[in-house]
Structure 1
Amino acid sequence: MITKRPLSYWVKTSNMKLQVLLLGLILITVAARVFPLEMQKKIVNQAIGARKVDLLFLYCGLYLAAVLLASGLKYVTTVLQTHIGQEALNRIRKGLYEHILTLPLSFFQKSSPGMVVSSLVTEVANAGEFVGAAISTPAINLLTLLAFGAYMFYLNPLLAVLSLATYPIVIYLVPKLQQRSNKANKQRVDITRKISSKVDEAISGIHEIHGNDSFRIENRKYGALVDQLFRVRVIWILYKNGVKVLNNLFQNLGPFILFLVGGYLAIQGRFDLGALVAFLSAYEKLYDPWKELMEFYQVYQDASVSYERIMEYFDVAPEHLLEPPDREPYAFKGEVTTRDLSFTVPGGIQLLKQINLELKPGEQLALVGFSGSGKSTLAHCISQLHKYTGGTVEIDGHEVSDLTKMDMAKNMGIVAQSPFIFDGTIRENLLYSCEAALGKNEDPEELPTLDEMIQVLQQVGIFADVLRFGLNTILHRDREAELVEKLIRVRHNFQEEYGEELADYFEFFDERHYLTYSGIAANLIFGSPNLDEFMIDRLPENRYFLDFLDEAQLRNPLISLGRDLASMTVDILGNLPPDEVFFRNTPVTSDEFAETRALVNRMENVHLHELREEDRLMLLRLALRFTPGVHKLIALPPMMENLILEGRHLFKDKISRERPEAVTSYAMNDYIYTQTILDNILFGKQTSDHPKAQERIGQSIVHLLVEEDLLEKVVEIGMEFNVGTKGDRLSGGQRQKLAIARVFLKNPPILVMDEATSALDNASQKRIQNLLETRWKGKSTLIAVVHRLDTIKGFDKVAVMKAGKIAEFGAYDELISRKGLLYELVHGPRASA
């Protein structure tokens, strides 16, 4: 198990080829570091002392070559260290993640996601940094120290002993300080985990915090933890810096001894100047490897603390083997038996007591009872999610506690009350269980087909949602041309077959006609913008568009229209409250009304050309926003309508010549890649949001897609819809339907459904129940925790639970006739009395 492996294990099992290469480079590097010292001595004594320029150039050249070689090798060793360390970190993270996934549910019930994430992502990084440097850093620096020390002894043994005498003191004192630093570091790790858990809890419960105005409570909790971390980090950093200060202090005592003793010897003529220079240089260079060793020691201590805390935290053994070691997974028929089953949690609380039941393959069992009676716990014990503490649970005669996870997954499908939907597409979530059930040597082509996926989507009632996702998809230009051609045909057929019928609800794009339910700006560009600067709301600031208005002589007429709109709005709505209801018939919003009133006052007795530029821009914005079919406060003059239609043609000619990438003009035979599939089919604007109109348009679209054999293709595109983190882009009902479809697609011999339809409306619940009573009846053994008692009549058996025991067990009609607990649950306690 990975948690039993010491940190040294990852050093021993790291890339040995690279480690050997590193050691070879280290030997060369050490020689390259020492060689310049001898060159310094020769430069001073032989070249400068003898005044030989040729020797000066030679020794300086050799010195430079050695320095460059050492620097280059240092970079190479750093790269290799990084690769080794990150490779080891990669292995640690993967191995630890694999282990975490196998831990029992009880571990996660007492561990927050934030703590797990912090351990796996942040804290373990120190271990990787250490592994990368574990061999090379001490090797290169110890060898360098020994080489420099030997060279110093070669120059002068007495000076060498005196200058190196401080190092043993440092070696003795540093571990003492480091022990205290480690203690504070362990506290820092623990508090950091608590902070991660607190932040994770606050984000997960943000709705409750906002709903209860509990900001002060949460700030107080978080603040207390941060204050603890502050105090611990101060102590930890003080000890860490204490190690550095102590090291620097003793390091700086060396030059004092050198200058005092070495200078005296040089004055006495017992030590030549070149040797003194070389000795001083060697001592100074001792500091770099010594410093790196001290830093490595800190890295080692930090990594050891973090690694030990992580492995201690996750040192929990999985309750079951993942896969059978010497056989294929069992294929069960679905017989489920429990005998004297009990389940006790830590603390001695017994949640299940003496549970006995027997289900034949294909039978359906409803688990009902009061809240807290143990229904879900029983379902979890049968499905191996909880390890029961007494009795037996058998599937086809095999003890559940002895089965592997693969045995269970191959034969059982589970739908929880709050099913988890993974970040990814609908298709990925739909196939999740099926892909997991594939063996190592099984062919991925054995996964369900598109037809099978569509079938389960229809069965659970999420087909229409997936179709809508597909219709609301924006296709990429590299999509197959055949699909685009078919969609263009659907567009033509939609107008031909339903144009007259939907005339009261829809306005089609027609280059010859003014679009009364689109703004003036949209009428002018008559296309779909491809660039942000050509978006409708940004056109008033678009210099290219403004220049076009001037060329087409449209700016002043539009500003004049804006003045009329502003004046009319102020006259009619001036004395009314700023409610959005009153502003539906005008392009002026309630937020803009005060500014518009001030503008109208400024316009009195002032010609348009005399207005300030910002006022003219505001009037232009109002005019471009004006939509005659919606803003019925004023009618669009026919002359203005004709001017805009002429301007539309001018703009199309201009933009196609000068900026063809800016706007895709509407054309009946051209696909618009910046709009959805649905928008491309409709090719117009809906003028009414009446439910009947929505329904009729939807029906006609489906009919036309079927005619062109495109329905399945659009649904397939809809399956690529990304559901977001935890399925947040889906409703609660959609998440449950997708989870049910996921299990149905797996087609297991045993189904466990824990209040699997609790988030569904009545019609959807009835749909699922009918499906269970027809398609799955006799095919799969069903164990369902039921919250709606009106759905249990079709079950073969009903188990009524109370206080962790099965109080009643039998067929529905039989139990009702007894007028016992089930009767009381269905009809109420007074009815049974």
Structure 2
Amino acid sequence: MNIYPRLFDEIRPHWKLLVGSLGFSVLMAAMEMVPASLTRPLIDDAIYGKDWPLLKMLAMSLMVALIFRTISHWARMIFTGLLAHRVLYQVRTKLYEHLQSLSLSFYQNKRTGQIMSRVTNDVAVLEQFIVEGIRESAVNVLRVVIIVAILFHTNWQLTLLTLIPTVPLIWFTRLFQKRIGVSYRQMRRRLADMNSILSDTIGGIRVVQIFGQEEFEAEKFRTKGREFAAAGNATQSMQALYMPSVALAFGAGQVIVWLYGGHEVLQNRLSPGALVMFSGYVSQFYAPVQTLANSANLFANTSASAERIYEILDTEPDIRSQEEPKPMPEMQGSIDLENVSFGYDSSENSIEGLNLHIEPGQMVGLVGPSGSGKSTLVSLITRFYDVKDGAVKIDGHDIREVDLKDLRSNISVVPQEAYLFHGTIRDNIAYGRPDAPFEDVMEAARGANAHDFIMRLSDGYDTHVGERGTKLSGGERQRISIARAILDNPRILILDEATSAVDTESEVAIQTALDRLMLGRTTLAIAHRLSTVKNADKLVVMEQGRIVEEGTHDELITLEDGLYKRLVEMQTKLGSEEAE
């Protein structure tokens, strides 16, 4: 994949900064050539000719060139820095925004650390490409062309001899670039693996420590670290062979200059000043050629990182709105699943031929053994996935035909494990409505039975909750999550085991808050603790991806050998044994 045209597309909006960077780089390169161009008159005319006024004039010219070179160097760094940071901001933001649009299926196949590595490490490589790759390559190519023209004008025979070492160098560089590219890709993959382990262990540090698996996780990290080091050593070995070979070729060129050029001076066919000038230009010729040769290393690294970046940017979301979605009228909340089938892969369906009708404002409990398809069903209603067959309709509209944002703006989910973002309690409650007045935030907290405990905190609503809400208890996090749903004011509410991970006292407060939240809303509640959905308007019992029973608690409990009845009896028996 040729990624460089795409990289230049990223730079094109900032072409003025690029022109400024290249312009001052060219001026700086020109000023660097002045000393060599003045060498011959300095030696042959001013020193050997004992011309003091000429010597002063040439020295002053050297000083002026030095001043202009310094100014150009400063300006070049300013323009290049601005260009690099704006492009990096642009690429990193584009990458992050695209990640927000990708479907859950993408994240199921990627580790968090690997994604983070692309957003941070791989994008950072582009900075070096902009600062050194584009600017230095363009200027050095121009510098080489000008110097070669001057060398041919000075002595074409000596110039041809000087260029002899560059012929095998070009072949060697092409071979090196191909092999180093493979090595850099391997290093990037190994670094992403290390970041994944780091992300996993930091996020689950409590589990690691409670099970005493610090050494196990450390060994996993060391293993990946050794693999990264091995890939780095392989890369370094290639560089260790290539870089000295380049220096040897250039050194041989200088030897040729002094051997043949010195002979020409002895034969009075070349002046000493001309030889020194020629040697100075050769040094200036080999320096950019060596930089260009070394750029093979940089370009291979850039290519490896850019491929990983554009692999994500080229990934299309599985779930997105149609080009011209139908407008979603004010939602009433009826839900219909018509002969729905779905599977996470092509081999087997998790839901098969499912039909279900839910009236607006109805409270429906989803019950059944683990793996029966309850969570999959609500994932289809929220359109985290699309059905394989059949249709999911809300208020008679196929949800694939309406705007995705309109759909989800009318649905809220209270999950089993409340997820809070790093920030304040107020920020987390107002996550779905960032512009909500503070009075509305407090009212939502009161509705979730959260206001009192929030006010007991030292900073009240401005209390920082910590990473993923670790400064709050499980029950407190869950009430914040409920307050967030209340403020969002959805027409459809999904409760995914919302009280299963809290103590009895917290469960009472949370259940009271949920009862308020469910009023006037279509509610689907996934429950393993069947007592929490006993009073539902309708219970839907699922097994192996199918609805096997449907009705109220009183209706289902009378079914002989019914699955719901068996589940209730099992939980009742278990509760009695625990009470004893």
1:511 alignment partner in structure 2: none
DSSP 3-state at the match of 2:53: helix
DSSP 3-state at the match of 1:124: helix
Contact persistence 2:20–2:76 (CA under 8 A): no
2:172 alignment partner in structure 1: 173
Distance 2:293 2:73 in 1: 18
Distance 1:112 1:269 in 2: 72
> Displacement of 1:162 after TM fit?
0.9
User: 2:454 pairs with 460, 463, 466, which one?
Assistant: 466
> Displacement of 1:188 after TM fit?
1.1
Q: Deviations over 1:762-811 (max 9, x none)?
A: 3443444445445633x211111123211223211110111111111122
User: 2:444 pairs with 456, 465, 481, which one?
Assistant: 456
2:553 alignment partner in structure 1: 812
Distance 1:756 1:821 in 2: 23
Contact persistence 2:338–2:356 (CA under 8 A): yes
Contact persistence 2:122–2:308 (CA under 8 A): no
Distance 1:817 1:5 in 2: 70
1:798 alignment partner in structure 2: 539
Distance 1:773 1:729 in 2: 26
1:727 alignment partner in structure 2: 469
Map 1:221-232 → 2, pairs under 5 A = 221-232=220-231
DSSP 3-state at the match of 1:434: coil
CA 829–139 in structure 1, closer or farther in 2 if over 3 Å, else same: closer
CA 733–237 in structure 1, closer or farther in 2 if over 3 Å, else same: same
> Displacement of 1:730 after TM fit?
1.1
CA 6–728 in structure 1, closer or farther in 2 if over 3 Å, else same: farther
1:744 alignment partner in structure 2: 486
DSSP 3-state at the match of 1:422: coil
Map 1:538-577 → 2, pairs under 5 A = none
Contact persistence 1:336–1:359 (CA under 8 A): yes
1:757 alignment partner in structure 2: 499
- Whether 1:275 and 2:288 are equivalent positions in the alignment is no
> Displacement of 1:827 after TM fit?
2.1
Contact persistence 1:343–1:388 (CA under 8 A): yes
Report 1 or 2 for greater relative contact order, CA contacts < 8 Å, sequence distance ≥ 6: 1
Distance 1:299 1:107 in 2: 30
Structure 1 stretches lacking a partner, 5+ long:
436-443, 474-717
Distance 2:388 2:400 in 1: 10
DSSP 3-state at the match of 1:265: helix
Contact persistence 2:328–2:402 (CA under 8 A): no
CA 306–324 in structure 1, closer or farther in 2 if over 3 Å, else same: same
> Displacement of 1:259 after TM fit?
1.0
Contact persistence 1:773–1:794 (CA under 8 A): no
- Whether 1:118 and 2:106 are equivalent positions in the alignment is no
Contact persistence 2:180–2:297 (CA under 8 A): no
Contact persistence 1:329–1:406 (CA under 8 A): no
> Displacement of 1:292 after TM fit?
2.7
Map 1:375-390 → 2, pairs under 5 A = 375-390=374-389
Partner amino acid, structure 1, of 2:450: I
Q: Deviations over 1:567-603 (max 9, x none)?
A: xxxxxxxxxxxxxxxxxxxxxxxxxxxxxxxxxxxxx
CA 44–775 in structure 1, closer or farther in 2 if over 3 Å, else same: closer
Q: Deviations over 1:347-397 (max 9, x none)?
A: 623221221111121111110111221111111111112333222111112
1:83 alignment partner in structure 2: 82
Distance 1:761 1:459 in 2: 20
Distance 1:11 1:455 in 2: 46
> Displacement of 1:132 after TM fit?
4.3
- Whether 1:302 and 2:301 are equivalent positions in the alignment is yes
What is the aligned residue count?
571
Map 1:765-784 → 2, pairs under 5 A = 765-773=507-515, 776-777=518-519, 779-784=520-525
CA 326–404 in structure 1, closer or farther in 2 if over 3 Å, else same: closer
> Displacement of 1:141 after TM fit?
1.0
CA 9–37 in structure 1, closer or farther in 2 if over 3 Å, else same: closer
Q: Deviations over 1:521-571 (max 9, x none)?
A: xxxxxxxxxxxxxxxxxxxxxxxxxxxxxxxxxxxxxxxxxxxxxxxxxxx
Contact persistence 1:33–1:70 (CA under 8 A): yes
1:416 alignment partner in structure 2: 415
1:535 alignment partner in structure 2: none
DSSP 3-state at the match of 2:432: helix
DSSP 3-state at the match of 2:110: coil
Contact persistence 1:329–1:410 (CA under 8 A): no
> Displacement of 1:738 after TM fit?
0.6
Q: Deviations over 1:440-499 (max 9, x none)?
A: xxxx4xx2x333322221222212210111xx24xxxxxxxxxxxxxxxxxxxxxxxxxx
Map 1:268-667 → 2, pairs under 5 A = 268-312=267-311, 315-321=314-320, 330-346=329-345, 348-435=347-434, 444=435, 447=436, 449-469=437-457, 472-473=458-459
Contact persistence 1:115–1:197 (CA under 8 A): yes
Contact persistence 2:3–2:306 (CA under 8 A): no
> Displacement of 1:245 after TM fit?
1.4
Contact persistence 1:461–1:764 (CA under 8 A): no
Percent sequence identity over matched residues? 28
Contact persistence 2:479–2:510 (CA under 8 A): no
Q: TM-score, normalised by structure 2?
A: 0.93
DSSP 3-state at the match of 1:72: helix
Partner amino acid, structure 2, of 1:358: H
CA 393–110 in structure 1, closer or farther in 2 if over 3 Å, else same: same
Partner amino acid, structure 2, of 1:38: S
Partner amino acid, structure 1, of 2:109: K
Partner amino acid, structure 2, of 1:466: I
Q: Deviations over 1:493-528 (max 9, x none)?
A: xxxxxxxxxxxxxxxxxxxxxxxxxxxxxxxxxxxx
DSSP 3-state at the match of 1:150: helix
CA 332–733 in structure 1, closer or farther in 2 if over 3 Å, else same: same
Q: RMSD value over aligned CA atoms?
A: 2.4
Distance 2:178 2:550 in 1: 63
Distance 1:48 1:209 in 2: 77
> Displacement of 1:179 after TM fit?
1.3
1:164 alignment partner in structure 2: 163
Contact persistence 1:138–1:293 (CA under 8 A): yes
Partner amino acid, structure 1, of 2:518: W
> Displacement of 1:6 after TM fit?
5.3
Contact persistence 2:482–2:513 (CA under 8 A): no
* Structure exhibiting the larger radius of gyration computed from Cα positions: 1
Distance 1:336 1:765 in 2: 28
Partner amino acid, structure 1, of 2:452: A
Distance 1:231 1:761 in 2: 50
DSSP 3-state at the match of 1:128: helix
Q: Deviations over 1:708-750 (max 9, x none)?
A: xxxxxxxxxx111011111111111111111111011111111
